[in-house]
Amino acid sequence: MERMTSVFWLGGCAALALLLAAGLTALVVLAHRRERERRDGWRRWAAHFGWTFTENPQVAWTDRVPGRNRRGVRFVLTGTMYGRPVGVAEYAYTETHTSTGADGNQTTSSQTHSYVVALVWLRRPFPDLAVGPRHVFSRLGRALFGSDGYATGNAEFDRQWRVGAAAPGQQALVGPTLVAAHLAGAVPTWSVRGAELITYRRGRLNDPTLVQALVTPLVTVADLLEQGR
């Protein structure tokens, strides 16, 4: 009797394992299908508006986004808006963490971070330049040691934002109108290298209305940079 019970128990465990494996496989297949349908939708969108859809492209800007994952660009859409060549891309990187429990066993977990990146190509190249919000340590350092070498002279802007430049004096490329646009919240954080201007934010590219919403403020940055305003 005990032997039969053991056989039934083992058989039940095996059946349960098979069901779980089948369910997991079905979920993976469904996720892949939905992702393929999503990308096919963007292909159709690009074809409709005369844009180009490229999967897994090799790009130069991945060292200016979180994670710096050279292979992290899932796809990019490129076209023209406001008379300028522009693009929108979906990018991701994965963080892996390993921890050791009290019993000495190691546990590994991973988390994927997704971003949408907007790009505008300028009409002329610029030196490396970036504007981003000051974080806690940056604000503390400025309070303790005064303005850094890339201050613009606008006290409120320099308190909230930090200019990263290739050399002292190049922060002057961020003109007063662009400074005011940052203070008004009208433009995003950005960086430029050569003629390639980018910005990014967390999320995935699921809604076509995001394209214009992401590109338009970056075009404003492009216009003001080129005009020196």
Residue by residue, pLDDT tens for the chain (229 residues) are 555 555 555 556 566 656 555 554 544 444 567 888 999 999 999 999 999 999 999 999 999 999 999 999 999 999 999 999 999 999 999 998 776 766 767 777 789 999 999 999 999 999 999 999 986 434 433 443 345 668 898 999 999 999 999 898 999 999 999 999 999 999 999 999 999 999 999 999 998 888 999 999 999 999 999 999 9
Q: Are residues 92 and 177 in the same domain?
A: yes
Q: What is the DSSP letter of 82?
A: T
Range of the domain at 68: 51-227
Q: Are residues 88 and 191 in the same domain?
A: yes
Distance CA 97, CA 124 (A): 42
**3-state SS, residue 109:** strand
Q: Are residues 77 and 188 in the same domain?
A: yes
Residues 6+ apart with CB under 8 A from 56: 71, 73, 74, 75
Strands 73-81, 84-100: parallel, antiparallel or unpaired by DSSP? antiparallel
Q: Token digits for 93?
A: 């990187």
Q: Token digits for 116?
A: 């949408």
Distance CA 131, CA 170 (A): 12
Handedness of CA 159, 162, 166, 171 (dihedral sign): negative
Q: Are residues 117 and 205 in the same domain?
A: yes
In the block, tokens 């922060």 appear at 171
Q: Give the count of domains, the chain.
A: 2
Q: Are residues 108 and 45 in the same domain?
A: no
Q: Are residues 140 and 87 in the same domain?
A: yes
Q: Are residues 173 and 61 in the same domain?
A: yes
pTM over 0.85: no
73 burial (CB, 10 Å; 0-12 / 13-18 / 19+) is: buried
Q: Are residues 18 and 59 in the same domain?
A: no
Q: Are residues 122 and 216 in the same domain?
A: yes
Q: Are residues 115 and 194 in the same domain?
A: yes
